[in-house]
Homo-oligomer: A and B are copies of this chain.
Amino acid sequence: MKVTILGNNSALPAFGRHPTSQVVTVYGETILVDCGEGTQAQMQRYGIRWRNMHHLFISHLHGDHYFGLPGLLTSMSLLGRTSPLFLYGPAALKPIIQEILRVAATTLSYPLNFYPLPSTPDVLVDNAYFSLTSFPVRHRIDCWGLLVKEKTRGRKLLADKCRELGIPSTSFERIKAGEDYVLPSGERLPNSLLTIDGPKGRAYAYCADTVYTESFLDVIHGADTIYHECTYLEEDKEKAGLRFHSTASQAAQIALKAGSKRLLLGHFSSKYKDLDPFREEACAVFPESQIAEEGMTYEV
């Protein structure tokens, strides 16, 4: 599972940085997380293809998180997309999109399925490959975070041991799927003797625009990588609180308390040209902190 950053800035474009957008790729599927103005151009720039994209998540209705959505939806239609799209966002997003399409006399070339985000943590998608769980965060308007969980890839086969026991390789797939093996003698070899736990599915938590709050710690606990907004530095802690944003130090505290392995920092205020102080401030609390740089792809 990987995450590619398309925009790491807050509302005002500055220093070449773009408003919030990122894509999570898991088992070949591309999940779009927020869609600030210019996202379709950023997708072109970094080679992100929408053909593998079926799930779009909009955290909240401040423009820097969704003003790129109408353009992206329209472009995919002009390019003849046919496969369905699933859009998860605040309930008020649906009539806005509908009205924008209506006044343009546009009928999309593909089915667009909208799901309003619920007020408590909820599983949006749960398939064989991944699950998506939304959870409320605390912002000036209703806002949600997203947890992307990769599914495990089944049991890991102890191939050498199986061969020693005389099991033919044609039976390996079924053993990996969890079955026991019965020898010609009638003896049953339990699956636990032939396999061990497969690699653990990884988890990525996107903690969108939020003031410091531990209210969703239980949902994101154990996530391998956490993205947490940090619009300001600790010197602007009071302003951050008033505007329902966080500081780099606060983001790091969340990552620490969530037992995460890595923190990605983003949503920087346009007043900061140099982002190094964000990394330094966060690393003092949680050493595995780094700037979510535009165009960069991170292994979760």
Contact = CB atoms under 8 A, between A and B. Distances in A.
Interface in A18-73: 37-38, 40-41, 44, 61-64, 67-68, 70-71
Contacts of A95: 99
A61 B12 contact: no
A128 interface: no
A78 interface: yes
A41 to B, nearest CB: 5
Interface in A109-131: none
A140 interface: yes
A265 B127 CA distance: 50
Oligomeric state, in number of copies? 2
Which has the most chain B C-beta neighbours within 10 Å: A63, A93, A95?
A: A63
Nearest to A38: B38
Contacts of A64: 71
Interface residues of A, number: 32
A193 interface: no
A19 B99 CA distance: 21
A70 B105 CA distance: 20
Given A12-B79, A37-B41, 9 more contacts: A11-B75, A13-B41, A13-B44, A37-B37, A61-B100, A61-B104, A63-B71, A90-B103, A92-B99
27 contacts: A11-B78, A12-B79, A13-B44, A13-B75, A37-B38, A37-B40, A37-B41, A37-B71, A38-B41, A61-B100, A61-B104, A62-B104, A63-B71, A63-B74, A63-B100, A63-B104, A64-B71, A67-B67, A67-B70, A67-B71, A92-B99, A95-B99, A96-B96, A96-B99, A96-B103, A104-B141, A105-B141
